[in-house]
Each structure stands twice: as C-alpha cells, then as structure tokens.
Amino acid sequence: MAATAVTGPRGGVPRGRDPGRPAPGRPVQALAAVAGVLLGLPVLVLIVRAVSDGSLVTALGMGVVVDALSLSLITTSASLVLMIVLGTPLAFVLARRRFRGQWLLEAVIDLPIVLPPSVAGLALLLVFGRRGLLGPTLEVFGITLPFTTVAVVIAQTFVAAPFFIRSARTGFAMVDHDLEDAARVDGASERQLFAWITIPLASTAVTAGLVMSWARALGEFGATIMFAGNLERRTQTLPLVVYSEFQTGNLDTSVAAASILVLAAFGVLIAVRLMHWGRVLDVRGVGG
C-alpha cells in the first residue's frame, strides 16, 4: 500500500537503475532512506498504536470523538459547498480573463496556503470578531460569528479554498476552445455551454481540487481554535480533539482521533494517485 503510494502508478516505470543516467551513490541512497523513515515512521507508529491497543475502535464509541467526527463531516461539507459557490466563479474568471493586477489577486488567493493557520485565525478575528472590521456591523443584524459552528466553516473555507480555486482554474484553462466554439456554432447559449461543455470537461480538475480542499479543511486546526474556539458539539472538530485530549493527558483518545485523520488524509492522497489527478492538481509554487 505505502509502496504503491510512494512509487506512483504501477507498470509505468521499470524498477532499479535508470540506464544511461548518473545513478545516486551510496551516501545519497542512505540519506534518501533516512528521509523516507523520518517522514513515514511517525505516522506509521501512530496508526499502529491506535489499531494495536484498540483505542481506534474504543474511540469510535466515545462521545467526544463521535461528536467531533460528525461535526467535522458537517462543517467540511458546508465548507465545500461554500467553496463551490464562491470559488467556481472566481476560478472561471481567473482562467478566462486577463486583467490588470491579476497576478496580485492570484497571489492573495494563494496566501492561505503558505500562511501559518494561527495567522489566518488572527486575521479572521480582526475581520469577523466582535471588535473586528465587520463584527460591529454584523452585530447590528444580530449576527455574532466567533465561537459558532459558522466560524468553523469560515475558517476551513479560508484555508482550504485556494486548493480548489487553483485546480478549478487549471481545469477551466485546459478546456479545448475548439469544443466550446463548436457548441457555440451549434447554437448553445453561454450558460448551456458552461453547464454542458466547460464544467464536464473541467470536472476532473474540479473534483481533484475539491478532494484536496476537503482534506485541508478536515485538518484545519489553528484558525479554528483561535477564531471559532473549542467547544464540544459546536466548534470542536477532530483536530481540536487531538490537541485538547493530549493537553489534558488523555493520550489514547488523542491518538485515536489522530489516526482517524491520518486515515482520511491518506485515503485522499491514495485517491489522487489512483485517479491520476496529479497532472490536473495545480500544485505549483506560490507566484507560479
């Protein structure tokens, strides 16, 4: 399983040395092995521990974990909907229009990918907090966001949307113009064109982006704990359980909750490999 994930789709690349190219020497191979172990071992140990001592199964019967798991699923679903509704038009505009300052807008959109989540949480508080930029206005309408489930969704969307927007943008950009023109010639309206040609052709990239965004939203921690707080059944998602339970000495619960997250994240990465999403996922560096 792990080997498949690391070496990519089977059958393509022959094993062993790549003839005709300089081979990595022993020291390089040894360092590569150390790197592989350093990256893989911690997660492996976590899963083995969660499974072997039964805490994973036990945790699935614990209120705090089950509540957090369902809250995580609900909030990440809501985040995905928000991303689709708001992110798709943005991605479409970025893919099809050229305008002054576009590079700057794209950099700003990418920012949450590289920002520490605690910075994202602080920034969200400064905007949506009760004393933030929009907080007092929202309060006039009886809306207070911090410490609510809505705040969790906002935090998740904020940090995860860039992954979706990037991929969707790439997907829209890759759609063959000739096909769209052909549909236009056949009398399709712009709306029909978008719904029946552009979206289906970009769907692989859009789906891949959604899956990556979901994984990022599921793992959201720093912005959530700062902006949405930490309260069972309302704002305590699975990553917050991992932290809170560790902080108060319930290591088994913490490990079990963590292993659920590892399995979910690993599932996403496996899916990306199996579905050959790698080529449509826009994972270029910021500023690319």
Residues near another protein (CB under 8 A) are 2-3, 30, 32-34, 36-37, 125, 129-131, 144, 146-147, 228-232, 234-236, 243-244, 246-251
User: C-beta of 217: minimal distance to another protein in Å?
Assistant: 20
Please say which residue, 167 or 244, places its beta carbon nearer to another protein.
Answer: 244
Exposed, middle or buried, 246 (CB in 10 Å: 0-12/13-18/19+)? middle
Please say which residue, 236 or 259, places its beta carbon nearer to another protein.
Answer: 236
User: C-beta of 52: minimal distance to another protein in Å?
Assistant: 18
Contact 161, 84 (CB under 8 A): no
User: C-beta of 188: minimal distance to another protein in Å?
Assistant: 51
User: C-beta of 74: minimal distance to another protein in Å?
Assistant: 18
User: C-beta of 246: minimal distance to another protein in Å?
Assistant: 6
Please say which residue, 36 or 278, places its beta carbon nearer to another protein.
Answer: 36
Contact 258, 50 (CB under 8 A): yes
Please say which residue, 115 or 242, places its beta carbon nearer to another protein.
Answer: 242
Please say which residue, 138 or 229, places its beta carbon nearer to another protein.
Answer: 229
Cα separation, 219 vs 271, whole angstroms: 17
Please say which residue, 147 or 194, places its beta carbon nearer to another protein.
Answer: 147
User: C-beta of 44: minimal distance to another protein in Å?
Assistant: 10
User: C-beta of 28: minimal distance to another protein in Å?
Assistant: 12
Three-state secondary structure string covering the chain:
CHHHHHHCCCCCCCCCCCCCCCCCCHHHHHHHHHHHHHHHHHHHHHHHHHHHCCHHHHHCCCHHHHHHHHHHHHHHHHHHHHHHHHHHHHHHHHHHCCCCCHHHHHHHHHHHHHCCHHHHHHHHHHHHCCCCCCHHHHHHCCCCCCCCHHHHHHHHHHHHHHHHHHHHHHHHHHCCHHHHHHHHHCCCCHHHHHHHHHHHHHHHHHHHHHHHHHHHHHCCCHHHHHHCCCCCCCCCCHHHHHHHHHHCCCHHHHHHHHHHHHHHHHHHHHHHHHCCHHHCCCCCCCCC
* Distance between start and end Cα atoms, the chain: 32
User: C-beta of 121: minimal distance to another protein in Å?
Assistant: 11
Please say which residue, 231 or 283, places its beta carbon nearer to another protein.
Answer: 231
Please say which residue, 58 or 144, places its beta carbon nearer to another protein.
Answer: 144
Cα separation, 67 vs 69, whole angstroms: 5
